[in-house]
Structure formats: structure tokens, C-alpha cells
A and B are shown apart, each in its own frame.
Chain A
């Protein structure tokens, strides 16, 4: 499974506060940086892990260091611990994880090894030497929603999602809002497969959506299957994790892609410089900070439409656009953000409501 940083962990925050007053200084590595990464899946999974591995290779070039890794480390303490302890035994002093299920184990390891810097992509725990990070995928998926709205003839969009919780729901709402930016009548019909990586279910969900008239398929699952099925049926789609034109060049009109190196380069430089103090509540990265970006645009998007999408991207990159700015109401009419306000991160993580235009079984 993927994802996430946890926003408000009071116990951790207080722990952090204590440690901070006691030490008053951040973490400084003794010795040259030795970085190691733990991947949850194989490096060639086509999505989440491959994006991290591509970032790793770019970081090696840019920072001129060797970054070691282990792949296929499942989200269980009995698998994570031996790998991390071995790396530390071999001199690693910066450990980067890539799964939400590593959070608890990374937390206890960071306490056992206070001289080692820990980072965890999609983690939920933080501490004086532990930083969890994730991207505001709703920003890039808002842009993909715009592309989907532009590419659609019928205004009926389908969306194949993994599990119904905050970080998937925020993607879906942003997707619908983006689509309605281009076509005010667009609807997004969502099917949750209940799994991050289940090509069989993704195939049947995508086919069902297309059979019901959807002509663009968005996704927040880990495999490119929805794009492959869209291409087989001669309709369009938008990808997640990486540029899925690699798999379905005739169908994929836009992809939300991870650009971890943009964030990790800056953060690793800070750690190497010394006196590193990680953000208390983790790093929930906007496109401006280097979490996600888009690969756009594929077929059936006019130049005019592409210009509008790119203009919106520019605004997100400059921090001028907030997808969840008020006034914003859910489809039951409850006000979720008043005019001039925004939705705080804590509530984003808990999102269990949908905006107008979203059709779900939930």
C-alpha cells in the first residue's frame, strides 16, 4: 500500500518538543553521507517503486553519491528491521523508506539509532531524526482531471481507485473539480477495487466503466492496467505514479507523476550540511516543493486546452492556486471551506466526502 504522512500526531509532537529543547540542535551526521533505500516492491513495478528508483538514479548523479537499496521489503517489522539494521551496520547513516506500513518500525528504529537520519515516503511518523513525506497528489490529479474533461466527448469520466480513504478521496474530488473546469457538466464515476495492485479487478472495473459510457478513465491504483484497457477500447485515460504513455501511448492524455528527486535533493543536502531539524508534522509536498508533477498532454487535447492546463500548472507551481480553497461544499450541501479559507491538512487526510459530479458506491 502507499502513502502518507500523518499530520497531527500529538504524542510525537510533544516528544519532538522535548527532544528539541534538550538537544537544541538538529542532527549532524558523523562521517560522510551513506544513503540506503528500502523499496516495498520490485524496482521495475512500473509505478510507485520505479518512480523512487528513477529518483534514486538522478540523485546519485546530482549529489555524486552512491545510493544503495533493497527491493520487495513488505510492510512488516520482521522484514524491515533486518534490512535497516544491516545497512546501519555497514555504515549507512541516511535511511529512506517508501511505504506507509514502515511507519511504526521506522519510528522505533529512529529512536534506537538517534545518529541516523530516517526519511519515509508516505509514512505517518515523525521525530527528531525521522521525517515522513508525501505529495499533494490532488494538485497534479486536478490537472489530469482538466485533461480528462478536455479529452472526453460525452462528459462521462470513469475513475478506478484503490481504497476509500483520505488520500484517495482527495484525488477523486480534485479530479472532478479539474474536469468541471473544462466541462461544467462532467461527472466522475468511481469504482474502488479494494486493492493497490490487482490487475484483474482493475481490468474488470475499467471495462465496466467503459461499458457504461465512460470515455476517459482516471486512476489511483498502482498498475497501468486501466490505461491498457482504455487503449484496447479506443477511449482515453489518465495515469498515476509515472508517465503511462510508456504503456498506453494512444490512450494516456495526462499522468500524475512523482518527482521525488526534486524534494529529496534539497532535503539530503540539508542533512549533509548538518544541524538537520525535520519538519515536526512531516512534509506534505506541494508541486511547488517537488512532490508531484504532470506528464501532459497526450492525444485529443487541443493546443488551446493544453495551454489552459499548463497555465493552471504554472499557478500551482507558484503556489498561486489552492485546489481546496473555499467556497467549497460537498454534494450534500455541507460547507467544507468558507470563502477565503482553505481546508487544513488534518482534515484533508480525513476526507470522506465528495464534491458535486462524483458518483460512488460509498
Chain B
């Protein structure tokens, strides 16, 4: 039979698309790498079309972006809060809770940390740990209302978390232009943090943010894959109805995951205020909510994959700046390239989950 099928003309062969149950992770990694290379080739073609010499592109751009200590540091500097919002997204989405309020939770995290600095709570040695706790508690509190509304009253969290962002943003502006403006110059940012209120630099300009982000990723990995809560979470993710009928505490599981998510977003806010800016500023949160959702989506809510995706996004940001500096191309072009790469990575998902199989005919 099979000999017959082989001899059929090409056009007569039939193929079918099948859903794949499992794929070994080396294959997954290979497909992912392939799609990245595909994206880079398309991006390269766009750049060459825009007038950038092809040889130069490979030589100085790829080399300088990936193997330069300064730019590597810039990537890690940028990546830490992205990893945090990515993890925050993963946790909430695993509970089927569409947390679009990451920015609002970040804002309140940073506000909580700044309140500790302004009111000078605790000794200098205790200040930073207190700021971390305050940031997590405030981020968590800002996610309490939407999750309770959802669980008790079936209020759609997409709307409630999104709207709470605007409240948080306007409250931040109210503080920045009002009570918390820097008394030194009346400008809309908080007074500078003291040196002991900043996340310290470890060796080579690497901030403490990055190890914290990696540690958090491992903690989330433990939570979702080993802990009992993670097991419940997988039930809730697959089918809340079935989970409820087999006795999983669905409401408590969702609550736990969402509050965890809010606390991590609050910590991301602290990382920007105490790790990058050195004070509370009025627009530090911009773009992080969307990035967090994108990272969680690319990572399919896997915390380790989210860490990698956040590093990829950070590399794209830094490389995008270099592209502008080197070739004076418009920022829109940089965004186009970033979108091409993200779409390529996202569509690799299709090849991981499906396979093409030739159908035998005539038997």
C-alpha cells in the first residue's frame, strides 16, 4: 500500500493537520530558535531594504548587542522588572483571571515603598526590607477588590482591573503634583531616596534586582509545579466546574494566585523606583502592563519561559536603541522589527502544538 502511495503524483497526496499531545523539549527549543532566526532574517531584510548595509549589520550590530558588557548590563537592568510583571501575569492567567491591572498594582507597590522612605519608617538597615514588604502588600491590596468582585459578584475582571489602573495613575499624579512633590524644586517627582533605600549594586554594576527576579521565578516555579496550590491551580485552569465538583477549593485558589500576582507586580514597581530611578516618578509604569501580558502569553504561563521571554523583550528594547543610534532609523522601524520578532516567536507555538501528517489514500 505504502509503495503505491509513494508513487502517486505530488498533487494527489493528501495531508492533514493533527494536534500534537506532547513534544520533547529539545524539539520545542529547536523550533523556537528556528522561529527566532526566521524573525531575525525578516528584520534584517527590512533593514537592508531601508538602506542599512547588510555586512555592517551582522558585524557591528549583532556583535555589539550580544557580546558587549555594557549592553549586556543594560539588558539585565531592563529585564528585572519585566521578569516580575511577566511572572505576575503568569500567576493570574493560570487561574483564568485576566489581570490587566499590572500597572496599577506596580504604581501602588512603588507608592507603598515611597511612603516608607518619606515617613522614614524603620532604621536605615531595616528600611529596604520594609520597602519590599510595603511594595508587595500595596500591590496585593490593589488586586483585592477586583478578585473579590469577581468571586462574589461575577464582575468581569478585565474591566475592573483595567479601570483600577486609571484610578492608580491619577492618584499617582495627585501625589506627584501635590503632597509628594520634591520640596526642593516643586517638580513632579518624590524627593530622592537615601542611598540605603536603593537596591544595592552587586559586582560589575549588576543590581540586586536581577537575582531577586531570578529567585522569584524559581519560587513561582515551585509554587505552580510542586506545591499543592499549584496542583489546584492546574485543575482550575483546565476546568473550574470539574475542579469544584472534585472538591478543589476553587475560590481560595483563584484568590491566592491573584493576590500573589498583585504582590509581584508591586515588587516590580519597587524595582523601578529603588533600582532604576532612585525616586518615585510620574510615568515609570508606562508600557509594563502590556509587556507583562505579552511575556506571559509568549511563555504560555511558564515561569522559566517567562524569564527567558522577559530577557528577549529587554534585548529587543536595548538592541532597538542601538539600531537607532547606529543607523538613524525612525523609532517606528524599531517597533516594526520588535513586532516581527514577537509574531515569529508566537507563531512557533503552532508548530509545537500541531504536526502535519500525510494521509494514506485508497485503502
Contact = CB atoms under 8 A, between A and B. Distances in A.
B279 interface: yes
Given A71-B324, A82-B74, A90-B326, A104 B186 contact: no
Given A81-B74, A85-B70, A69 B328 contact: yes
Contacts of B283: 1, 74-76, 101
Given A76-B276, A90-B325, A163-B177, A349 B185 contact: yes
Interface string A159-198: 0000111100000000000000000000000000010000
A74 B141 CA distance: 29
Question: B interface, how many residues as a size bin?
Answer: 35 or more
Interface stretch (A4-12, A214-222, A240-248, A268-276): A4-12
Contacts of B177: 163-165
Nearest to B325: A86
Contacts of A1: 188, 282-283
B97 interface: no
A163 B321 contact: no
Contacts of A79: 78, 317, 321
A100 B317 CA distance: 22
A85 B181 contact: no
A110 to B, nearest CB: 15
Contacts of B325: 36, 68, 70, 83, 86-87, 90
A73 B330 CA distance: 12
Given A163-B188, A194-B170, A81 B77 contact: yes
A86 B170 contact: no
A9 B184 contact: yes
B286 interface: yes
A48 to B, nearest CB: 15
B277 A77 contact: yes
B71 interface: yes
A86 B331 contact: no
Contact of A76 (B173, B192, B284): B284
A78 B278 CA distance: 12
Contacts, number: 102
A236 to B, nearest CB: 29
Contacts of A361: none
A8 B326 CA distance: 37
Interface in B4-23: none
B246 interface: no
A163 B185 CA distance: 15
A82 B318 contact: yes
Contacts of B78: 78-79, 82
Interface residues of A, number: 41
Nearest to A85: B70
Given A75-B281, A101-B283, A165-B181, A82 B187 contact: no
Contacts of A82: 70-71, 74, 78, 317-318, 321-322
Contact of B74 (A69, A78, A100): A78
Interface in B170-194: 170, 173, 177, 181, 184-188, 192
Contact of A101 (B186, B272, B281, B324): B281
A6 B187 contact: yes
Interface string A297-316: 00000000000000000000
Interface of B: 70-71, 74, 77-78, 170, 173, 177, 181, 184-188, 192, 272, 276-279, 281-284, 286-287, 317-318, 321-322, 324-326, 328, 330-332
28 contacts: A1-B282, A6-B185, A6-B187, A7-B185, A42-B330, A42-B331, A68-B328, A70-B321, A70-B324, A76-B281, A76-B283, A77-B276, A78-B317, A81-B74, A82-B70, A82-B317, A83-B324, A85-B74, A86-B325, A90-B326, A100-B187, A104-B192, A104-B279, A163-B188, A164-B177, A165-B186, A194-B173, A349-B185
Nearest first, the 6 closest Cβ-Cβ pairs linking A and B are A72-B331, A82-B74, A70-B324, A86-B325, A78-B78, A6-B185
Given A4-B187, A8-B185, 14 more contacts: A6-B184, A8-B184, A9-B184, A70-B331, A72-B331, A76-B276, A76-B281, A82-B74, A82-B321, A86-B71, A90-B325, A101-B282, A104-B277, A163-B188
